[in-house]
Structure 1
Amino acid sequence: MASADSKAPFSLDSYYVSEELGFILPEPLEELPPYYQEWMDIALRIPELVQSHELRSHVNKMPLLSSEFLQKHRELRLAHVALSMMAMAYVWQEGEKDTVEMLPRSLAVPFWEVSQRLGFPPIFTHADGVLANWKKKDPKGPFDMDNLELLVSIPGGESVRGFFLVTLLVELAAAPALRNIPTVINGVRSGDTEAVARALEGISQSMQDMTDALKLMQVYVEPAVFYGKMRIYLSGWRDNPCMPNGLIYEGVQTEPMEYSGGSAAQSSLLHCFDELLGVKHEGNSASFLIRMRNYMVPAHKRLIQDISLQPSLRSFVEQQACERLNQAFHQCVTKLTALRSYHINVVSRFITVPAARARQLRNQSQSSSEMVSEAPTALEERGTGGSSIITFLKTVRDETKDALLPETS
């Protein structure tokens, strides 16, 4: 494998990036070897077992299985999806009022082992819920909402399906942008202005397609269901007032451990674009984003770091005095800013507005049949990753805008 600073052309070959699907895991497995049937039996029934308050007792009775018979990458990924969703359901089965202090050995030990082998943390991540949690109903059919379904789910019905699969389509829309990144880097190295401009135009089109895909959230996900039912199962045990001490993984270590919940910041896409375009994050937003990289597929994290070591695209654009190149760079930063602005809009609709509604209902102290009134109070102003969400997203969006070149007279 060529290192980031070698003279070999930059390529995506060693980073687990698919030509067609980008960071999405191609053809995830639907079944584990028969030895692991008890895991899958529980994982595939998570919503109904949580509903009947039986999930914890099923997990408590589960035998302690060795992870040694998981050989292939896809087997490990499906195991991580199943075990991570089970862990979230175990912790949050009774909502924020009755969390647990310990994950039982039969779940904690294999979950830890599988996580170590993949280089993931032992908690549910974006790579689990989105990148490795899909199948086509008709294998030869299109990659779209009508032909996709989830492998494993959490409580929340159709809105869960919508949330994860729309996010998957955003990842899919980014695949052409990822394919263009090596062209940009190699073009900057060799001084090929035309190639860089052309590739940046492709990237900005891809960013527009990502924003368009994200707009499907309002079609497929109900804000009240997301906020009132689903969201707690994406929440972690770091920066979470419900679980101030973290979680003990029985049989792994006696001290509790703290991990952040699933977050859009765990998608490698925007990190790659930031490094390519020279977007600089500072302070709290920077430290949160850097920490989220530990929740990514290690090869994807390495790609982000290797992009950051390349010659500066921004400086190259400034030096070339080429109108088309200037325009293409400007367009990329503008589209990335617009994508982040739209994400703020989504978060406002799915978190800020329902949170205000939930507070209003509680203040009136009437019993309410509205789903938002059942939502956890601890996360009202926070993202599932633990960040103060709107402040964080606005900061990151404004820092993106700062990457625009000073207007040339």
Structure 2
Amino acid sequence: MDSDFDYFPPSDLLQPDALLSQLAALVDTSTLAAHDFDVDNRTGFMPPQPPVARLPDEWNAWEVVLEEASQGKLKLGTRDDLTDDEKAMSSRWRARVESLPILPIDNLGKSEVVIRRAHLVLSWILHFYIHTLPSSEPIIIPRSLTLPLLRVSAQLQLPPVLTYGDTVLYNWAFKEPQAVPVPALDNLRSVQTFTGTRDEEEFYLTSARMELRGVEALELMRSTMDEAFVGDDIATKRITTYLLRLSEVLSDLRTLLLAVREGCRPDVFYNEVRPWFKGIDSGDLERKWVFEGLLDTDDETLEEPKELSGPSAGQSSLIHALDIFLGVEEYSHSEQITGHEGTASTSTTTTTTTTLTPIPTSSTPMSSNPAKSAFLNRMQTYMPRHHRNFLNHLRNNPRPLRNIVANGSNAALLEAYNKAVTSLTELRDAHIIIVTLYIIIPARKATENVEKEKKEKGEEVKPLKGTGGTDLARFLKDVRNGTAGALFNSGSTDGL
């Protein structure tokens, strides 16, 4: 592979105070050959070496309380079967968090890998703290956690909440030492989990394996963009070959995604793992998160978070990069696709181009009204900032692949392009299958059980908000259908 994708150490990355807009203006957008994106030619969006496993001694207190949560096997506070001992253990642990000193973060910013670890540790503590609380108690996050988490998040330009990066990208190590630096797909383990179950670990590792397999897709993108600058018949033939190969890579990603069923049980995931992920905007978590200490701090850079979603595969830069590269982003990321009721829905699959609203080329800001912002656009704010820059860099390519296909008259190129888009659509079909198995069906079962209990007690039965994952199903189908809508009619490349 080309050395332009070689990994550069964290010291060569832009520091936290670098403005995204400045980077977008300075980089050469003619190719993917830029070093400021933290994208490696061997591991893609994952780091080429196992992430830092522990913070330096100055911040060891955070590591200790996280260890205590994991080793104590703290339970969800909303469970009905908690024993008095389990409740007391969680209460004692939260008291430990509340008694932590407010540690300074000045020296954390000197190392990208260290401050990433700080975000991971603090956000895991946050979710342990919130989700061990009984449902009857208000959610008040102690200042000992609020202030360092918000400060670290501000430096990293990330939300103060658990992200895909904290559960997948920077949450792995080797099972066994290996001679070659590139992680083998079967030699990975997750460092941090909530439950200590194989199910939870397999959920994270499925995404990690997909990230590693997707490295070839990134290389094919780079090669395609290089050939696009040549633009002759030989270049067109090479692009056609690259797209056919990309379709095979996407098929492999689909296989890896469906393989999650081999190690992660749907009932365990839904009932024991998924509740830990919930953020402020989860439909069934109506209690407000109060970040203690914001009102009496002199730090004007800290703001109360308005929207915090938990970790999601929608935060994977790889999938967004594929959308952008293939030119389907304006279809799959449309502002009309939110998964919320009252918004437009692409209800049927079509093989003709559509007229959905494209997303802006700049970094998408967080919205205080999720229903008014496309979900996938919002998820980009949860990505590492260098990866967001990579997507903007890719988006600003002056010779978009879709334009090349549309403006040409090469039947083989069109067929290869449609094959790649079809493979991406099939990957999204697989995602719908997994979400149906792991969320929608268990949610319906849970709803039926609640309704049965209420009927037995003579209580009024009301439909639960977001029951059965209906909004989620709608959203995923809309994204899938939007992707399919980017297909060109066979034998025609008229317009976009």
Q: Provide TM-score, normalisation by structure 1.
A: 0.89
| Residue 9 to residue 393, structure 1, CA distance change in 2 (3 Å) | closer
How far 1:4 sits from its partner (Å)? 8.0
| Residue 347 to residue 106, structure 1, CA distance change in 2 (3 Å) | same
Residue identity in the other structure for 1:199: Y
How far 1:245 sits from its partner (Å)? 3.5
| Residue 326 to residue 108, structure 1, CA distance change in 2 (3 Å) | same
Which runs of structure 2 are paired with 1:254-293 in the superposition (5 Å)?
257-279=306-328, 280=331, 281-282=333-334, 283-285=336-338, 287-293=374-380
Q: Distance in 2 between matches of 1:140 and 1:5?
A: 36
- Which of residues 262, 271, 281 in structure 2 aligns to 1:219? 262
How far 1:193 sits from its partner (Å)? 0.8
Is the contact made by 2:317 and 2:387 (CA closer than 8 Å) also made in structure 1?
Answer: yes
Q: Distance in 1 between matches of 2:465 and 2:24?
A: 46
Q: Distance in 2 between matches of 1:174 and 1:341?
A: 18
The equivalent of 2:158 in structure 1 is 120
1:39 partnered with 2:77: no
How far 1:7 sits from its partner (Å)? 7.3
Is the contact made by 2:380 and 2:388 (CA closer than 8 Å) also made in structure 1?
Answer: yes
- Which of residues 136, 139, 149 in structure 2 aligns to 1:101? 139
The equivalent of 1:300 in structure 2 is 387
Percent of aligned pairs with the same residue?
A: 28
Greater shift after overlay, 117-126 or 320-329? 320-329
Q: Distance in 1 between matches of 2:98 and 2:467?
A: 31
Q: Distance in 2 between matches of 1:359 and 1:242?
A: 15
Is the contact made by 1:46 and 1:155 (CA closer than 8 Å) also made in structure 2?
Answer: no
Which runs of structure 2 are paired with 1:54-73 in the superposition (5 Å)?
54-70=92-108, 71-73=110-112
The equivalent of 1:309 in structure 2 is 396
SS at match of 1:102: strand
The equivalent of 1:187 in structure 2 is 227
Which runs of structure 2 are paired with 1:326-365 in the superposition (5 Å)?
326-365=414-453
- Which of residues 456, 473, 478 in structure 2 aligns to 1:395? 478
The equivalent of 1:374 in structure 2 is none
1:21 partnered with 2:61: no
| Residue 119 to residue 5, structure 1, CA distance change in 2 (3 Å) | closer
Q: How many residues align?
A: 395
The equivalent of 2:74 in structure 1 is 50
Is the contact made by 2:73 and 2:195 (CA closer than 8 Å) also made in structure 1?
Answer: no
Residue by residue, what CA displacement relative to the aligned partner does 1:31-72 show, whole Å, maximum 9, x if unpaired?
Answer: 110122221122233342523324312211222211123231
The equivalent of 1:169 in structure 2 is 209
How far 1:11 sits from its partner (Å)? 1.8
The equivalent of 2:364 in structure 1 is none
| Residue 393 to residue 9, structure 1, CA distance change in 2 (3 Å) | closer
For structure 2, the 5+ residue unaligned runs are 1-22, 76-85, 339-372, 455-463
| Residue 9 to residue 256, structure 1, CA distance change in 2 (3 Å) | closer
SS at match of 2:389: helix
Is the contact made by 2:29 and 2:394 (CA closer than 8 Å) also made in structure 1?
Answer: no
How far 1:84 sits from its partner (Å)? 0.7
Q: Distance in 1 between matches of 2:148 and 2:40?
A: 28
SS at match of 2:337: helix
How far 1:314 sits from its partner (Å)? 1.6
Q: Distance in 2 between matches of 1:184 and 1:339?
A: 21
- Which of residues 174, 186, 192 in structure 2 aligns to 1:136? 174
1:318 partnered with 2:367: no
How far 1:378 sits from its partner (Å)? 6.0
Is the contact made by 1:247 and 1:257 (CA closer than 8 Å) also made in structure 2?
Answer: no
SS at match of 1:216: helix
RMSD across aligned C-alpha pairs, in angstroms?
2.6
For structure 1, the 5+ residue unaligned runs are 367-376
Q: Provide TM-score, normalisation by structure 2.
A: 0.74
Residue identity in the other structure for 1:66: P
Residue identity in the other structure for 2:199: S
How far 1:394 sits from its partner (Å)? 0.2
Is the contact made by 2:37 and 2:389 (CA closer than 8 Å) also made in structure 1?
Answer: yes
Residue identity in the other structure for 1:321: S
Q: Distance in 1 between matches of 2:113 and 2:27?
A: 31
Is the contact made by 1:82 and 1:152 (CA closer than 8 Å) also made in structure 2?
Answer: no
How far 1:103 sits from its partner (Å)? 1.2
